[in-house]
Amino acid sequence: MRIAIVVARFNDFITERLLEGAKAALAEAGVTEDEVELLRVPGAFEIPMAAQRVAETGRVSAVVCLGCLIRGATPHFEYIASACAQGIIAASSMTGVPMSFGVLTTNSAEEALERAAPGPANKGREAAEAAIEMATLFARVGDGRS
């Protein structure tokens, strides 16, 4: 199983923790470092584009999408969060490759840090576990094109 991780650099004090959680979950599932393709993008808005591009190559069984949006004083948060979520859904539907949503949408940095803490509740870990589960399910079901 080959897995891509698309991680945003914006708010990297959070996204790097999500990435560590995702890598730990993949390693525990037997996915080696050689089977992980890491793509770094500027921010959450760019995640769906990179996820779609790597999925279109046919090299990966699933894509783990990691980012962090922290609410500010303007509506920018809502626009980016919506675009990111809808973009990931569209990219997954278009390519047929499962994509998990590990993009935090929090009210504060403190909330984000809680969700990125090491351990089983790390949202990067949860996203990687979901990606593995969906890739396994899709492999069992087949491509549905028969």
125's CB contacts (< 8 A; 6+ apart) are 21, 22, 24, 25, 119
Assess whether 76 carries a catalytic annotation: yes
Task: Say which of 57, 76, 89, 94 is annotated catalytic.
Answer: 76
Active site residues: 76
